[in-house]
Amino acid sequence: MPQMDPAHDLLLLIDIQNDFCPGGALAVTDGDAVVPLANRLSHRFSHVALTQDWHPAGHFSFASSHAGATPFSVIAADHGPQTLWPDHCVQGTDGAAFHPDLDTDAAEVIIRKGCRPTLDSYSAFFENDGSTPTGLAGYVRDRGFSHVVMAGLATDFCVAWSALDARRLGLDVSLVLPACRAIDQDGSLDAAMAEMTAAGVVLSQA
């Protein structure tokens, strides 16, 4: 596994949006604490990409779209189990906007995901069916990146799925743990950490 090379690696900052920060519709504990660390990283790296959850109103993954369903319950979807979430990151709303203190100026590309009404998307690379691309894989390939450094929200969902998909694509992946925060629902953080470690994701403290 190569060392981080800020001049040539891609820094991927995942879903640092208002709805995932304190006061948001799907707040991650201390989610806003990643913002200064993410900014510090983006000032170091020459190549930065951002992802943005971007759901249409009434999205399939919202508990409110299913009669009698409660947030965080799980239903069977065509592509497998689907957690139902509070309405969050609805296109064009303040909740879907990046955290106001996040420095987005360095971003070379912004990938919006979860845009399809009937398909959720955790990974920065593929929708939750595991095959519908977001476009990031093509961008990484065409730009010639081989090592992706990741940070953002939430460690055990969108960050982990992105890291695992990057490994499946043959990329080296480093995860900057201090610049991540987790939901940690029913042991989801331990499970995600174990899966990422087994897949060869480097868990970094710097």
Residue 73 maps to a domain: no
Positions in the chain short of pLDDT 70: 1
Q: Domain total for the chain?
A: 1
Residue 112 Cα distances to 6, 26, 167, 174, angstroms = 24, 18, 21, 22
Give catalytic residues, as residue numbers.
15, 113, 158
Q: The domain that contains 106 carries what CATH number?
A: 3.40.50.850
- In this predicted model, what pLDDT tens digit does every residue of 77-102 receive, in sequence order? 888 899 999 999 999 999 999 999 99
Residue 62 maps to a domain: no
Smallest CA-to-CA distance from 16 within 41, 34, 29 is with: 34
Residue 81 maps to a domain: no
For residue 7, the model assigns a pLDDT of 95
Residue 31 maps to a domain: yes
For residue 75, the model assigns a pLDDT of 93
For residue 79, the model assigns a pLDDT of 86
Residue 2 maps to a domain: no
Q: Which domain holds residue 173?
A: 10-57+88-204
Residue 4 maps to a domain: no
Residue 156 maps to a domain: yes
- pTM of the predicted model as reported, rounded to 2 decimal places: 0.96
Per the prediction, the chain carries an average pLDDT of: 96
